[in-house]
């Protein structure tokens, strides 16, 4: 190994779980589960191909209740019947030497109506999401009742219990990318006037309640050390929307919980704040300075080369997640570890699907989304 990259391979203890290096597979939806919500053979093979080098694998998100299914071909975690399916995935990842973390979520107002019961989508308030393509209105959700909010909080706990029983090493709460946990925190999607909305403090109530419920379940059910992480998006483009100032208040509150890491969801690692702070540094550097001494921070976003990764680690963040690049080159970690970083592939070829073990639905999604992945041809 080139000594320059040795820090990427230092072991690190997340909570009470030691991972063999600082690198994780980022959570990425692959649209490839079976119709009944069980994990498919294609999905298992995709994870096996990408689990050998990294210290930790964070899976694609699984929904905690049937009202929260956010994608076609998303695997399920909302009933005990799904524990054998979840166990199959956890075992496949761990057999390759990585820790397995299950990402859990509810899609809220971003759920396609055809995927949820009665076509009824739910959120903090009856406010539709803005269409990122600017064409046509997205459906208006129904505001959740107090009883439904409490039920969904319990559902996050129940899916955590299933993750424990299935043999996962942890869960990651998906509070990012505009899904339900973020919808409660966002002033765009949360216009409530009860204890779950209004003030910044009230908008934090649901995310913090989910954290507390999950941690309670872990304390009751986990017989081995079990990781609890939280992923969040630091800003929203909408007005009103989450600003860096809001996020710094959120991470302050999250850092007081017994979370094992905070995962900052970004497309570009070095992206700077849009609004809310007078600071020209990257969002990740600001967040690391704010709470890094209290809780480990995980960074992600357009890390393609070994130099990209070591530069990111040198920003002070102790953990890195790599997503698109581990789809493009599943042997990335092994190549860096064995001094072959010059062999890393950073662009996807249209002829590579079979060699890279990419399931058909994910492959089609990549080909039909120009600009999402760097393409060689």
Q: Which value, in Å, is the radius of gyration of the alpha carbons in the chain?
A: 20
Query: At residue 370, what are phi and psi to the nearest 5 degrees?
Result: -55, 135
For residue 212, give Cα distances in angstroms to 48, 58, 153, 179, 218.
32, 21, 9, 19, 10
CB 133 within 8 A of CB 189: no
* Of the candidates 177, 154, 160, 184, the residue with the CA atom closest to the CA atom of residue 104: 160
Q: Which residue is catalytic, options 46, 47, 63, 179?
A: 179
Tell me: cis bond preceding 163? Omega within 30 of 0 counts: no
b vs e for 194-214, b when ≥16 Cβ sit within 10 Å of the residue's Cβ? eebbeeeebbbbbbbbbbebb
> d(Cα 129, Cα 33) in Å, to the nearest integer?
26
The structure tokens listed for 229 are 């992480």
Is 269 annotated in the active site? no
Q: Can you read off the two tokens belonging to residue 302?
A: 């357009």
**What are the beta bridge partners of residue 227?**
170
Per-state percent for the chain, helix, strand, coil, to nearest 5: 40, 15, 45
Residue from 230, 236, 215, 245 nearest 294 by CA: 230
**Known catalytic residues?**
179
């Amino acid at each position: 190994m080139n000594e320059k990259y040795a820090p990427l391979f230092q072991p690190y203890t997340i909570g009470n779980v030691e991972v063999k290096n600082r690198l994780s597979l980022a959570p990425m939806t692959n649209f490839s589960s079976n119709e009944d919500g069980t994990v498919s053979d294609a999905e298992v093979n995709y994870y096996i191909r990408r689990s050998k080098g990294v210290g930790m694998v964070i899976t694609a998100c699984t929904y905690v209740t049937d009202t929260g299914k956010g994608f076609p071909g998303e695997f399920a975690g909302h009933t005990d019947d799904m524990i054998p399916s979840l166990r199959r995935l956890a075992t496949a990842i761990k057999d390759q030497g990585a820790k397995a973390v299950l990402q859990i979520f509810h899609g809220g107002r971003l759920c396609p109506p055809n995927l949820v019961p009665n076509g009824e989508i739910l959120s903090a308030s009856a406010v539709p999401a803005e269409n990122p393509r600017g064409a046509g209105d997205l459906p208006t959700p129904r505001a959740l009742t107090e009883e439904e909010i409490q039920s969904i909080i319990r559902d996050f706990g129940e899916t955590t219990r299933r993750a424990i029983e299935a043999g996962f090493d942890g869960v990651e709460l998906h509070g990012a990318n505009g899904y339900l946990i973020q919808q409660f925190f966002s002033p765009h999607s949360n216009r409530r006037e009860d204890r779950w909305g209004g003030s910044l403090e009230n908008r934090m109530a649901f995310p913090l309640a989910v954290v507390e419920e999950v941690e309670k379940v872990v304390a009751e059910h986990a017989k081995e050390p079990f990781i609890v992480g939280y992923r969040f998006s630091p800003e929203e483009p909408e007005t009103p929307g989450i600003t860096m100032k809001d996020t710094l208040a959120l991470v302050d509150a999250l850092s007081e919980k017994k979370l094992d890491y905070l995962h900052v969801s970004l497309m570009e690692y070095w992206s700077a704040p849009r609004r809310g702070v007078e600071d020209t540094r990257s969002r990740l550097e600001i967040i690391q300075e704010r709470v890094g001494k209290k809780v480990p921070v995980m960074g992600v976003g357009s890390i393609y080369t070994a130099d990209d990764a070591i530069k990111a680690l040198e920003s002070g963040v102790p953990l890195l997640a790599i997503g698109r690049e581990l789809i493009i080159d599943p042997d990335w970690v092994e190549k860096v570890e064995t001094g072959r970083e010059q062999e890393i592939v950073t662009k996807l070829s249209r002829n590579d699907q079979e060699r890279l073990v990419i399931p058909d639905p994910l492959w089609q999604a990549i080909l039909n989304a120009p600009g999402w992945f760097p393409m060689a041809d």
